[in-house]
A and B are shown apart, each in its own frame.
Chain A
C-alpha cells in the first residue's frame, strides 16, 4: 500500500471537480483523483446551455432567476442557496469566458443567450433568454476549457484512480475525514491519500436505471461511499426523467427539438399531448410530458415491435430549419436508430437524466453529518451533492451553473480550511475494508454474474421506480433489490489479473448501485405525495403540510423505515427566505 499526502484531495474531474481544482490548486497542494480521464467526464455530454442573468439580449436579473429556480423545484429548494447560485451565475459565466470558453456571440460580440424551459422574466410573465451556450455542445466546451486551465495551472491529476472509500478518524468523539482509499486501475494497487480537506465531485448515479442519458461510469460512487461511512443522503427519491431519450438507448434529444416545433405522437398518429396539456401541449414541463408518454405506452398506444415507445415527429419542419437548429439530434437519430428525421418520426421514451438528491451540503459546499451540523474538512459539489438548489425538479441549464458556482466555492473553502488545519492521523489499517471488499469480489466462487444482476436491477427500476410510482410498485422494487443484494454475495468474476481489471470494478460499482437503489426506493415509499420528479399515483397531490421538507437517509443496521430494515429516514427543514410556496402552474 502506498501513502500520499496532499492538503486537498478532490474526487472527480468533471465540471465540478476541475472548477474546484482551479481554485484549490492555486492556494494549496492539491491532487485530483478520477476514475476516467478528465476530458471523458459526462459534463462533456451536456448540450443546451448554462444560464445566468447577464441581460445581454434582454432585460433580466438574478432575482427573477432565483424565483424560477425555486418554482421549478416545486418549492423544495433551499432559497438561500438558490439566491447564491443566481447571483454568482454572472461571474461564473464571465470567469469561463475569460478562461477561454468560446461562447456563441451576439452581433455586437457579446455572449449570446437563448431560451430554455422554465426560465422567465418577472416571475413567470414570459420566457426570457438566459441560457449562455456554445453551439449545441456547451458542456463539451466547459469541460475542455476547465481542463485547459488545469493544464495551465499544473493541477496534479491521478487518472484512472478509483476512490472506493473514505477514511474517517475520530476527533473528540466525532468522525472526521482524514483521507481516501483508491484503486489504481493500471496496476491494481491500492493507495491511500491522506488529506486535510476532501472534496467529492464524483457526479450522478443514472446507471441505477436501464434507460438513461448518463454514461456507463455514472454509478453513484461518491454518494454510496458517503452513505457507507454514516453520512446522510438527501432527497434521493427525486430523479429527473427527461421526456425524449432515443428509444431503447436513452441518448438525450434536447428539449430544443420540441421548442423548434417537434410533436409527440402515439401509434395511432395522434398528437396525444393535446389531451394532457391542452394549452401548452408538447411544451409542458418535463415531468408532465414524461408521464403522458409513459401513459400512452401503458394504455397500449406505444409504437414499434414491442409497443414500448412513442414518436417525435419533425417531418413537418423544413429540412434546412432542422439542420440549422437541431444538427446534433438529427445526427444521433441517424447514427443510432437509422432514422431519417426529415421523413420519419424518431422513436423516443423518457430517460433517467439527473439526480436532484445527493450528499447534503450548505452554501459553502460543507457536508452535513446530520440536519444541523457539518463535518469539518469535508466538501461536495456538483451532481453528487444536494445543496439544494434543484429541490424536487431541476430546471434545464441550472446544473452546468451549479457545478461552476459550487465547484468554485468548494475549491476555495477546501483550500482555506487546509491552510488552518493539521493532518489527522490515518489509521494503520485504513485500507483494510477496501482490501477485504476487493478480495471478496476476486475470490467469490458463487454462480451469480455481475452483468445479470445489474440488468435485473435496471429493469426493475425502470418498471417500478420510473415516472409512475405507487406503494405497490415501490415494494416490488424493494423486494427485488433485497433479492439482488443477497445474490450479490455470491458473485463470481472472471478476470483475476491486476492490470486494468474493469471486471472487478464493475462488481464494486454494482454494490454502489444496489445500495443507492434501496435508499431511493425507501425515500420514495415514505414520501406519500407527488412533487416535481417524484410522482405517486396513489398520492397525486403535493402535500406541503406533511412533506415540505428534505428527506435524510442514513445507513443504520438496527433501524426500520416503513418496515424496510437497514435505513433510518430523518428530515431537514427547507430554507425559506422570501418566496411563499404556490401551486406550480405554467
Chain B
C-alpha cells in the first residue's frame, strides 16, 4: 500500500481560511429545560421528574448539562461518568426515550423547543437517579467466558493470524460494555434471565477469533433457553450502540453458528 502513496505537494505556507474559522463571532447559546427522573430511596421510594432551566453553549453535550445541574444547582444529582468522550462506557442513559451516552450526545442535535428528558437505562435496578446496578449485566458477560481459550501448546513468539482472520471479528472488539444495547432490548426488560445483546456481542468476539478453541463451549451456553434464541430481531440494540457495532448482525451470525453446530 505504501508504495502507491504519491508524494503530496508541499502545502501552502499561507492560505485563506474558510468562513469564520479565522476568528471573531459569538459562541451561540441555547436555553433549554432539562427534565431528569430523580430517584433516591433514602428519601422516597417514588421516583419523580424534576425540571432545570439551563443556558448552555453550542458545543455542549448532555453530560455538560448534567454537570451544570450538579455543580451549580443541586449537588445531589447522581450519575456516572469518566472519560467524557465516548470511550469508557460509564454514562449510558435514556435521553428523550433513546439509549445513548450523555457525553456523546450534543444538545444542538436535540429538539430544544421541548424539554430534554433524561432517565436511567431500563431493565437494570435503579440505585439512585441515573445510576443502575450493573452487576446483572456483568454477570451475563462473565457467563459467556469472555477470554481466549487455546488448547495448543504455547508458541514461543506470537500466534499467527491472517489479516482476514483478524478482520472477521473486528466489529465486536469495539464494545465498551456500556449496556446501551442490552438495556434497550424489550426481551431483556421482560425476561431478566436473557443474556442480552452485549454478552452475545462479546461471545461473538471470541467465537470468530481464529485463535480460540472454545467456540463449541460458548455456543452450547448460548443455545440454552436464555440464550440467542430469545432475540426477536427488533434492532433496538444496533440503533443504541454508541460504537456503531452491528449488534443484530453479530447475534444473527452467532445463531447461524449454533445451527451449523447442530447440538
Contact = CB atoms under 8 A, between A and B. Distances in A.
Interface string A295-319: 0000000111101000101011100
Interface stretch (A34-42, A523-531, A565-573): A34-42
Interface string B189-214: 00000000000000000100101100
Contacts of A103: 158, 166
Interface in A152-195: 152, 186
A150 to B, nearest CB: 9
Interface in B65-102: 70-72, 74-76, 78, 80-90
Interface stretch (A59-67, A364-372, A404-412, A495-503): A495-503
A215 B17 contact: no
A274 interface: yes
Nearest to A497: B42
Contacts of B71: 449-451
A108 B163 CA distance: 8
Interface string B207-239: 001011000000000000000000000000000
B237 to A, nearest CB: 19
A99 interface: yes
Nearest to B1: A324
B83 A215 contact: yes
Contact of A269 (B22, B138, B209): B22
B17 A345 contact: yes
A107 B163 contact: yes
A104 interface: yes
B188 interface: no
Contact of B84 (A102, A216, A303, A347): A216
At the interface, is chain A mostly helix, strand, loop or mixed? loop
Contact of B11 (A316, A337, A499): A316
Nearest to B169: A102
Nearest to B41: A499
Contact of A42 (B83, B142, B170): B83
B21 A336 contact: no
A39 B178 CA distance: 10
B112 interface: no
Given A45-B83, A105-B166, A344 B21 contact: yes
Interface in B103-143: 104, 106, 108, 127-129, 131, 134, 138, 142
A421 interface: no
A495 B128 CA distance: 12
A451 B145 CA distance: 42
Interface in B142-197: 142, 145-148, 150, 154, 157-163, 165-166, 169-170, 173-177
Contacts of A230: none
B82 A40 contact: yes
Contacts of B177: 39
A52 to B, nearest CB: 11
Contacts of B15: 265, 269, 313
Closest 8 A/B residue pairs (Cβ): A100-B148, A451-B71, A494-B75, A109-B160, A495-B76, A503-B75, A152-B147, A148-B147
Interface of A: 36-37, 39-42, 44-45, 93-94, 97-100, 102-105, 107-111, 134-135, 137, 140-141, 144, 148-149, 151-152, 186, 215-217, 248-249, 251, 261, 263, 265, 267-271, 274, 302-305, 307, 311, 313, 315-317, 332, 335-338, 343-345, 347, 449-451, 493-503
Given A105-B160, A110-B157, A304-B23, 7 more contacts: A40-B82, A45-B88, A100-B209, A337-B59, A451-B71, A494-B75, A499-B128
